[in-house]
Structure 1
Amino acid sequence: MGLPTYPESYWLATASMPSYGKLEEDLSTEVAVIGGGIAGITTACLLAREGKRVVLATADKLLNGTTGYTTAKLTAQHDLIYDEYIGHFGEEKARLYYEANMEGLEFVRRLVSEAGIDCDFAEEDAWIYTNSGSKLEAVEKEYEAYKRLGIPGSLEKSIPLTVPARLAVVMRGQARFHPVPYLRHLTEEFVRLGGRIFEDTTIDKVEENGDTVTVTSADGRTITCGDAVSCSHFPIPDSGFYFARLHCESSYAIAVRAPGELPRGMYISAEKPNRSVRTITYGGEKLLLLGGESHKVGQKEPGFVHYEALEDFAKKEFGATDIVYRWSAQDFEATDKLPYIGHVSEGKKHIYVATGFRKWGMTTSVVAARLLTDLILGRDNRYAELYSPSRFHADPDVGTLAKENLNVAGQLISGKLEWVRRKPEDLGPDEGGHVRVNGRKAGAYRSPEGELFVVDTTCRHMGCEVAWNDGDRTWDCPCHGSRYTFRGEVIEGPAKKDLERLS
């Protein structure tokens, strides 16, 4: 049976990026930055502004991942977190987290204004609302945390939406924007400053030897540098055991046409599954952008079920007439919900990492870029301790780490024990799933035109069995979040090699 189809992503449809070549020769530079999203591009540009010779390498095309497929909120309101952060880390660190992200927002606001970047930037208040009695206390506590930390906001008994809501906490002075034209501006500035960009360049390893770092691509090319920064979703150098300290979640978004005056503001529900609501402008037309339905990669219902749930929500609450765009994104989360930004591990002086942004990468990426630039230049930064990857908190790290690794073990075992009876010839057009080929488990997808693609479903990271994602036509690893196309090509790490093609 065929699956429902949707248009392509809004973000990549509205602003194209220049194309850059692949690394085809060994070279040397001062700093190598790995990752073609907002964190990588911003870090590379800030270092180039400081006079550093910088190379930026990305496994795919610039912005061809989560940054290009994002709801693009510029906000320090990252769900119900401030009451939790006060409990785990204390008021000082919770306040630092807020201030760091507001500085990130201000950085973007100032650059957009000074450079005149046309990126749909708009000032908006951010709301977390609930219609569930079980979440009322949590929303009230979050507002009390705002007051303790000096965050401008209010507690409201209604919201400017037709969605039912009994209580909401509002953070004032937030914003939204379209990241691709903004990052195109930064990319062009980086190149003007002498920066070099290499796309389609998968980095296989990063090694430190004294004051020299060697970055090696999958095809054996090397970049020799003084410092290397991994801004990819999953860190390339895994000396800090990040595969055990991060878990990956999928989330979904649709852009719809809806009648009447569309609301101002950015909204997210406190209860699960989350519902995120805001307005975007595309081609002079205002659309509603709806997101949510988060789950661990490879560990939930087929992807199309989540798109259908968002479509039902759009029709019921807003009278949506049709879906204009849809996409999904993947994000890594640290055990204590704070990003890892800094030296990759205590023993490495010249290798840095930025990861674990937990769906809030717009402001956090700017925080990361500024912090990493300061660390590389030997300058003090008041956020260094807060985001240090070498930190460890007994509460909540121990419990979360144990839970996550039990989950990984369960997925590894269950994937190997699953018995599959279906054969490739049983698949209809535009259908994929596990099959049996010559007595062994495999994965197959039949295109709408009838072409069959068969792969070994053993993830190339640590051997878990990948699961078929009907919504995006991808193979997703339930253990550590690696993702592959239906052909078996790597989309997201930590895996670096493609799935084995069987036919």
Structure 2
Amino acid sequence: MIGKKSSINIFPKSIWREFKETPSFDSLQKSVETEVGIIGGGIVGIISAYLLAKAGKKVILIEAEKLIDGVTGFTTAKITAQHGLIYDELIKSIGQEKAKLYYDANLVGLNLIKQLAVDLNIDCDLSEENSFVFAQTKEGAQKILAESEAYKKLAIDGGLAKKEVDLPFVVEEALVMYNQVQFHPVKFLTGLVEEIKKLGGQVYENTRALKVIDQEELVIVTENMSLISCDKVIIASHYPINDNEGIYFTRLSVNRSYAIAARTKKDIPVGLYISADQPTRSLRSVLSKEGEKLILIAGDGHATGRSKSKTIEHYRNLEEFGEAYFDIKETLYHWSSQDLTTLDKVPYIGRKTVESNRLLIATGFNKWGMSNGAVAALILTDQIVEKENEFASLFDPTRSKIKKEPAKSFIKSNASVAKEFISGKIEKTAKAVADLEKDEGGMIEFKGEKNKSLSR
């Protein structure tokens, strides 16, 4: 730490999970029937459950642990179509027309969240902000210039904005996307959960889905062997279950990133920020439960299992950045999250396999799960109510056309992770409890029994 001792506590804690008003639900203890079964109580599962219940569908939502306690509860909570420097890359990999669709889709997702917050009167600290990518190096500036040309081609509301940034350091270049949003995800989704209850939707916590059996009807098999018979199933559990169908572990890379929320002596920048340079630094303001404005600094990501540093060092790197530029007084929260990325960086949303349109998934949001998650809920709802959606083909999980160079790059970068993932699925090798570091999870051997999951 620059100039002082780190104030990071030994145990991770997300600022979003400090909100304690999310209702609790019993676990499922009997077999039941429904029209739509939804696996996963994060942003995709909850918005989908609300939209489907509002459309008159009988819905059951199950969560393995507590609602909003997975990736959605450990996000930076930026709702934006500015996903770093992605549009120049998308134009090259999937073409200009589809890149434009991706932008439009994420604006639709953003506006859905805004509209629901207004219509349902949900107080979720939502504010409209401009979103910036900034570069502190000439190399990063060149990337931003290329991305600015993509903005022009796609008619994106934004452009070069070096003079518009509100940062306490010199930038070589910056790119803005206007009128984006930040919010409190747990407050927002808690409001939707209350609406799901009013609409007759059923919610069960501590109900882990083991698999989905595809027979005359779909059957979700839970850990306590309660069965949920469904016409349609949405798998919104971050990583898809039934992975032998679609072999998604070969089509998704896994990355971990980190975040802190801290008090500062200096002013906190207005707007949303992410660096074009590596290691990534993502910035926004956030309100504590007492209403105090804090700075949220995120980044320092790496492929899961590939970091040469201890977990605490990643948090300290973020803290040192904050101390250098914002004079951090105290780090109050720190957390990390694992994110999945697809081959072409466009999420998989829709039918899980070519053979069945009854089993639907949403995964691979590439760290941008708020806008993409809302888009996913819209697409999945439309598919279940048999309504055409202009974005469905773009996100179709069964798509196969991909240019060679992006595919080769993905395979090369993901080879060792995939090898470990495949090995884990075949052999399920276990660790001893003592082998796990703090804030690390894994499969462990406990009292002679293997394949028990544990997090320290």
Deviation at 1:15, TM superposition (A): 3.8
The residue aligned with 2:219 is 214
Q: In 2 relative to 1, CA 381–278 (structure 1 residues): closer, same or farther, beyond 3 Å?
A: same
Which of 326, 329, 333 is equivalent to 2:337? 329
Question: CA deviation digits over 1:16-62, x for unaligned, max 9?
Answer: 31111111111111010000101000111111111110110111110
RCO higher in 1 or 2 (8 Å CA, sep ≥ 6)? Answer: 2
1:368 aligns with 2:396: no
1:108 aligns with 2:113: yes
Which of 385, 388, 391 is equivalent to 1:380? 388
TM-score under structure 1 length normalisation: 0.83
Question: CA deviation digits over 1:350-396, x for unaligned, max 9?
Answer: 00000001111111111000100111111111101100001121335
The residue aligned with 1:38 is 43
TM-score under structure 2 length normalisation: 0.91
The residue aligned with 1:402 is 411
The residue aligned with 1:435 is none
Question: CA deviation digits over 1:61-92, x for unaligned, max 9?
Answer: 10111111111001000110001111111111
The residue aligned with 2:260 is 254
Q: Compute the RMSD of aligned alpha carbons.
A: 2.4
The residue aligned with 1:14 is 19
Q: In 2 relative to 1, CA 269–124 (structure 1 residues): closer, same or farther, beyond 3 Å?
A: same
Which of 435, 438, 441 is equivalent to 1:475? 441
Which of 237, 248, 251 is equivalent to 1:242? 248
Deviation at 1:108, TM superposition (A): 1.1
Q: In 2 relative to 1, CA 464–166 (structure 1 residues): closer, same or farther, beyond 3 Å?
A: farther
Q: In 2 relative to 1, CA 164–240 (structure 1 residues): closer, same or farther, beyond 3 Å?
A: same
Query: Aligned partners of 1:305, 1:7: CA distance in 2, in Å?
Result: 13
**8 Å Cα contact 1:131/1:166 also seen in 2:** yes
Query: Aligned partners of 1:401, 1:142: CA distance in 2, in Å?
Result: 21
Query: Aligned partners of 2:454, 2:201: CA distance in 1, in Å?
Result: 35
The residue aligned with 2:326 is 318
Query: Aligned partners of 2:263, 2:425: CA distance in 1, in Å?
Result: 41
**8 Å Cα contact 2:253/2:414 also seen in 1:** no
1:67 alignment partner AA: T
Deviation at 1:271, TM superposition (A): 1.1
1:356 alignment partner AA: G
Deviation at 1:404, TM superposition (A): 5.3
The residue aligned with 1:65 is 70
Moved more, 276-285 or 156-165: 156-165
Query: Aligned partners of 1:181, 1:320: CA distance in 2, in Å?
Result: 26
Query: Aligned partners of 2:133, 2:210: CA distance in 1, in Å?
Result: 41
Deviation at 1:9, TM superposition (A): 1.9
2:180 alignment partner AA: Q
**How many percent of aligned residue pairs carry the same amino acid?**
39
The residue aligned with 1:463 is 428
Trace 1:287-436 onto structure 2 (pairs within 5 A).
287-300=294-307, 301-392=309-400, 393-396=402-405, 398-400=407-409, 402-403=411-412, 406-408=415-417, 411=420
Question: CA deviation digits over 1:237-258, x for unaligned, max 9?
Answer: 2201001111211111001111
Query: Aligned partners of 1:46, 1:65: CA distance in 2, in Å?
Result: 21
Q: In 2 relative to 1, CA 313–203 (structure 1 residues): closer, same or farther, beyond 3 Å?
A: same
Deviation at 1:399, TM superposition (A): 1.2
The residue aligned with 1:84 is 89
